[in-house]
Chain A
Amino acid sequence: MRPQLLANAELIDPASGRRERGAVLIRDGAIADIAWGTASPAAPEGAETVDCAGHWLLPGLIDMRAFIGEPGAEHRETLRTASRAAAAGGVTTLLCMPNTNPPIDDPAIVDFVKRRARDTAIVNVHPAAALTKGIAGEEMTEIGLLSEAGALAFSDGVKSVRNARVMRRALTYARDFDALVMHHTEDADLVGDGVMNEGELSSRLGLMGIPREAETIVLERDLRLVRMTGGRYHAALITQPQSIELIERAKAEGLPVTCGASINHLVLNENDIGDYRSFFKLSPPLRHEDDRLALAEALDAGIIDVVVSDHNPQDVETKRLPFAEAADGAIGLETLLAGGLRLVNGGSVRLERLLHALTVRPAELLGLPAGRLTAGAPADLIIVDPDVAYILDRASLWSRCKNTPFEAARLEGRVLATYVAGQLVYQYASA
C-alpha cells in the first residue's frame, strides 16, 4: 500500500497532551512520522496526500466495554455490524464482553471471536473472557490459557461475582498472569426487584429502586480483596460519589485499581426515564443529576480512568415492554465521542481529559500500543469535525439495534473518517 500523508490537520495526542497543526505520515499500517507544527510538509515520493481541512486528527477511540451478540444473538448485533457502528463512531478498538451464548469462557471461543473479527470486522476487536466458568460466579476460568489465546481482560460482564471467596481466588490467581480483572460491582440481592435509581423519582413512578449501596458494598469488598491479593482490578462502571471516594482512596494507597464510567452515566440522569422510557433502563441504573455532576468532575480530575460506551444492543422484543420487564442496556458506540464532547462543550471536562480516557488510558490498561500519536504506533486514526451540530436520527445508525438514549438529541462533533492500521474503514457521507 502507498504511504499516506494526512496533512493540514489539528493534531491531538492524548498521551502527551500536545495539540498543534501538523500532519501524520502513515506507512505499512503504522504511524511512520509526525510533522508537528507543519501543516503541509512535503510528501515523500509515491505518497498519497489527504487534506484534513484543518479538522482534528487523533488516535481512534478504545472502548473497553461493548456487548456484541456473536455468538448466540446475531439478530441483535454481529462483530461485523458492531465494527461498522464502531468505525462510524471513531472507535478503532473495542473490547467485547463475554456475555454471549455460549459465553466466552473457553480458549476455543476466544479463538472463534478473534477469527470472526479478523474476517468480518473492520475495527480491532479483542475479547474479554469470562472470569468464571459459564459466568456462573463459582469457578474461575482458565485465565492463563485464555490470556494466551488473546483475551485482554477477565470479567463476568453484566454479572457481579457474588461469592467473595471466588473473587479472592480469581484475583490471586490472575495476579500471576498480570491479568486485568474487570468487575461490574452490583450486589444482586440488594438490587432485588429494583429497576431504577432509588429515590423520589422511583417513588413517584412506582418503580422499585436500586440503592447506591448496591454498588459500593461490592466495590468496597473488592478493594479489600485487592489489598489482600494484589490482583490488578478495574471497576467497570461507577456511577456516584461514594464509589469515586472509594476509588480515590484506593489509588492514594497505591493499590492496582482503576475504574471506568459509561458515557450514559456521564451525560444522562434518571429524569431521562420520563414516562417509563425503556431505552434509559440501564445496569447500573442512571442516577441523580448530582451523581452525574460528581462523575464528570471525577473524570476531569483523572479519578475515572476510562470512559466506555457500554454498548448493549437490545431489540424491540427486549425493549418494547413495560419498563420493569425491559432488558437493560443502550447502544453507544456511535455516540460515544459526541456524548463526551457534550461534557467538554458544557465546560465540565477538559478535552484532553476526555480523550485521555477514551484512548491512551484504556490502551495502557489493556496493554495495547494504540491510542497514541507517536511514530511506530498503529495507524488507528480518526478525523473529527468538532463543531458540526446535528440532531441524531436513530435510523441513521449502523448498529443493528436502534436502542439509543440519544434519539433526537442535539449533538456536536462528528467523525469524518476512521483509519484502522492505515486503512480507511469509514468516511462520513452527508445524506
Chain B
Amino acid sequence: MSAPQPLPAFPHRHLLGIEGLSRLDMQLLLDMADEAVEVSRQVEKKKTTLRGRTQVNLFFEPSTRTQSSFEIAGKRLGADVMNMSVGSSSVKKGETLIDTAITLNAMRPDIIIVRHHQAGAVKLLAQKVECSVVNAGDGAHEHPTQALLDALTIRRRRGRIEGLVVAICGDILHSRVARSNIILLQALGARVRCIGPSTLLPAGIAGLGVEVFTSMREGLAGADIIMMLRLQRERMNGSFVPSVKEYFRFFGLDEEKLSYAKPDALVMHPGPMNRGVEIASDVADGAQSLIREQVEMGVAVRMAVLEALARHLPNS
C-alpha cells in the first residue's frame, strides 16, 4: 500500500456515462481502482475519504449486486450509505422522478447513485440536484461502472486492453452494459465485436465502430475476451427470439462455442446469469471464467469512482 497521495484530478462532478470521459479519465479511474483492490484485500478495509458524507443509493429498478457493491464501496470509504429502492418509496405513489430528486436534494446528500429503467433519466435527475450523481444504469443507455469493472478485470488479467479482441454477445439492443463497454474498450484500444441475432442488434450499431456478427462461430474466431449478456425473461419466448432452446443452441456459450475463440480466451458476464440460456454452467464455472473476479473488481471500481468524485464535493 503506497503512502496517501493527493487525489489526482478527475474533471467531472458526475459520472453519467463513459461517453464524455477522456482516455486519461478512464485510465485514472482504473489506476485508482487498482489501489482500491489492495485496500479491499486488507483486514482493515476502511478509509476516511468520505467520512461524514452521505451517499444515497436510489434504485428505481431492482438490483442486488450493483446496489450492494455501491453500498460496500461507500462504507469502505467511510460514507453513511442509505438505500432507497422503489418498492419502499413514494415513487410507487405516483411521485415523478423530478420531485423525487428535489425531495432528496433537500436532505443534502453528497452523492446519489441512481439506477432507472429509462435512458437519460439519470442525466435528467442530475440536472435537478446539487450533489454528485453516479449512473448505476439508465435504461438501455449506459452503465459506466460495469464497463469500468470489466476493463479493470481484463487489464489486471491481461496486463493491457490495447489490441485485444473483445466479443460482446447476446442482447445488444437492450443492453446498457454493451453500450458502455463498446465506448470504453474502443477508447482503450480494443477491437470490439458484437454478436447476436439480428432482432437483438440495434439498427445503427455498426456506426459505433464495432464489427457485427450474427454467427458465434465467425464472431468468436480469434477473440481474446468473450462478454456474455443477460437475456431478459420477457424477451425469450417469441418476441425477439423464438425460444430459450433455440437461443441457447445458436447463441448460448457452451464448450463448443468457446473453442471457436482463442485457446486462452476469457469469459465474462455482468450477472445475474441465466444458466442454460446465454451461458452453460460448465463454462460459467470453468477455468476461463472471470465472472467471480468481476464482482470483486466491481467494489474496487465503485470505490475509485466515489473517491474521484469526492474532490468535487463541497468543502472538500
Contacts and interface: CB of A to CB of B under 8 A. Distances in A.
Interface of A: 198-209, 211, 275-276, 317, 320-325
Contacts of A317: 96
Nearest to B204: A200
A322 B118 CA distance: 6
Given A205-B119, A206-B119, 19 more contacts: A198-B203, A198-B204, A199-B203, A199-B204, A199-B207, A200-B203, A200-B208, A203-B202, A203-B205, A204-B179, A206-B139, A207-B120, A209-B202, A209-B203, A276-B120, A320-B96, A321-B96, A321-B124, A322-B116
Between A200, A206, A211, the greatest number of chain B beta carbons within 10 A of the residue's beta carbon is seen for: A206
Contact of B123 (A207, A276, A321): A276
Contacts of B171: none
B139 A201 contact: no
A207 B204 CA distance: 12
A323 B118 CA distance: 8
Nearest to A320: B98
Contacts of B204: 198-204, 209
Contact of A203 (B96, B118, B176, B203): B203
Given A276-B124, A322-B118, A322-B124, A206 B203 contact: no
27 contacts: A198-B203, A198-B204, A199-B204, A203-B203, A203-B204, A203-B207, A204-B179, A204-B204, A204-B207, A205-B119, A207-B119, A207-B120, A209-B202, A209-B204, A276-B120, A276-B124, A320-B124, A321-B96, A321-B97, A322-B97, A322-B119, A322-B120, A323-B118, A323-B120, A324-B119, A324-B120, A325-B118
A205 B203 contact: no
Give the top 8 A-B pairs by smallest Cβ distance, nearest first: A200-B204, A276-B120, A206-B141, A200-B207, A322-B118, A206-B140, A322-B121, A203-B202
B142 interface: yes
B110 interface: no
Contacts of A211: 203
Interface in B104-146: 116, 118-121, 123-124, 138-142
Contacts of B179: 204, 206
Interface string B252-275: 000000000000000000000000
Contacts of A202: 202-204
> Main secondary structure on chain B at its contact with chain A?
mixed
Contacts of A205: 119-120, 141
Contact of B140 (A207, A275, A321): A207
Contact of B138 (A206, A320, A321, A325): A206
Contacts of B96: 317, 320-321
Contacts, number: 75
A198 B140 CA distance: 14
Nearest to A317: B96
A96 B239 CA distance: 38
Between B120, B141, B179, the greatest number of chain A beta carbons within 10 A of the residue's beta carbon is seen for: B120
Given A206-B141, A317-B96, A324-B139, A276 B205 contact: no
Interface residues of B, number: 24
Contacts of B119: 205-207, 276, 322-324
Contacts of A198: 203-204
A317 B94 CA distance: 12
A320 to B, nearest CB: 5
Contacts of B208: 200, 203-204
Nearest to B121: A322
A141 B120 CA distance: 41
Contacts of B205: 203
B90 to A, nearest CB: 16
A276 B122 CA distance: 11
Nearest to B119: A206
A205 B207 CA distance: 13
A321 B125 CA distance: 9
A359 B119 CA distance: 41
A275 B176 contact: no
Contacts of B118: 322-325
Contacts of A324: 118-120, 139
A382 to B, nearest CB: 39
A206 B116 contact: no
Contacts of A208: 140
A204 B207 CA distance: 9
B270 to A, nearest CB: 15
Contacts of A320: 96, 98, 124
A206 B139 CA distance: 7
